[in-house]
A and B are shown apart, each in its own frame.
Chain A
Amino acid sequence: MAAPPRHATMQSISNGSTAQGTDRPQTQQTPQAQLSQQSPGLRVPSNRKTIYDRHLNRSRNAELSRASFAFLFGEMVTYAQRRVTGIQDLEKRLNEQGYPLGLRLLDLLFYRSTSTSSSALSSSSTSSSPPNRPLRIITLLHLIHGPLWRLLFNRAADALEHSVSPDTPNEYMITDNDPMVNTYISAPRDMSMLNCAAYVAGIIEGVCDGCGFETKVSAHNQPTELWPSRTVFLVRFGDPVMEREKVLERAGVK
Chain B
Amino acid sequence: MRRTRVDKVNAELVTLTYGTIVAQLCQDYDSNYQDVNKQLDKMGYNIGMRLIEDFLAKSGVGRCANFRETADMIAKVGFKIFLNVTPTITNWTSDNTQFSLIFEDNPLADFVELPDDGRAQDELWFSNILCGVLRGSLEMVQMQIEAHFVSDVLRGDDTTEMRVSLVRYIEDEMPPEEE
Nearest B-chain residue to A15, judged by Cβ: B116
Our pick among A4, A54, A69 for the contact of B14 (Cβ within 8 Å) is A69
Contacting pair B7 A97 (CB below 8 A): no
| Number of A-B residue pairs with CB-CB distance less than 8 Å in the complex they form | 151
Known: A1-B23, A1-B26, A97-B24. A152 touches B113 (CB 8 A): no
A98 to B13, CA, bound (A): 11
List of B residues within 8 angstroms of A47 by Cβ: 158
Question: What is the predominant secondary structure among interface residues of chain B facing chain A?
Answer: helix
A130 to B27, CA, bound (A): 34
Contacting pair B116 A41 (CB below 8 A): yes
Our pick among B7, B39, B116, B153 for the contact of A66 (Cβ within 8 Å) is B7
Contacting pair B14 A68 (CB below 8 A): yes
Q: Is A44 an interface residue (CB 8 A)?
A: yes
A105 to B10, CA, bound (A): 13
Within 8 A of A (CB), among B101-116: 107, 110-116
Q: Is A64 an interface residue (CB 8 A)?
A: yes
Q: Is B82 an interface residue (CB 8 A)?
A: yes
Contacting pair B8 A2 (CB below 8 A): no
List of A residues within 8 angstroms of B114 by Cβ: 42
Chain B count of residues within 8 A CB distance of the other chain: 49
Contacting pair B6 A2 (CB below 8 A): no
Q: In the complex, what's the smallest C-beta–C-beta distance from B43 to chain A, in angstroms?
A: 5
Within 8 A of A (CB), among B97-141: 107, 110-116, 118, 121, 126, 129
Contacting pair B113 A51 (CB below 8 A): yes
Within 8 A of A (CB), among B16-35: 16-24, 26, 28
Q: Is A72 an interface residue (CB 8 A)?
A: yes
Q: Is B175 an interface residue (CB 8 A)?
A: no
Contacting pair A64 B50 (CB below 8 A): no
Contacting pair A8 B107 (CB below 8 A): no
A101 to B43, CA, bound (A): 21
A194 to B17, CA, bound (A): 19
Question: Which of A74-82, A117-125, A236-244 is near enough to bind chain B?
Answer: A74-82
Contacting pair B113 A62 (CB below 8 A): no
What are the interface flags for A49-81 relative to B under an 8 Å C-beta threshold, 1 for contact and 0 otherwise?
111001000011011111111011111101110
Q: In the complex, what's the smallest C-beta–C-beta distance from A73 to chain B, in angstroms?
A: 6
A43 to B119, CA, bound (A): 11
Nearest B-chain residue to A183, judged by Cβ: B7
Contacting pair A63 B11 (CB below 8 A): yes
Q: Which of B8, B10, B82, B129 has the most CB of A within 10 A?
A: B10
A1 to B15, CA, bound (A): 11
28 A-B contact pairs sorted by A residue (CB < 8 Å)? A1-B19, A2-B20, A2-B23, A8-B116, A12-B116, A49-B158, A54-B110, A59-B11, A60-B12, A62-B11, A62-B12, A63-B9, A63-B11, A64-B9, A64-B107, A66-B6, A67-B7, A67-B51, A67-B54, A68-B14, A69-B9, A69-B17, A72-B14, A72-B17, A72-B18, A98-B20, A152-B13, A153-B9
Query: Can you add 4 more A-B contacts, CB < 8 Å, to A1-B22, A2-B20, A80-B24?
Result: A51-B111, A65-B84, A67-B82, A104-B16
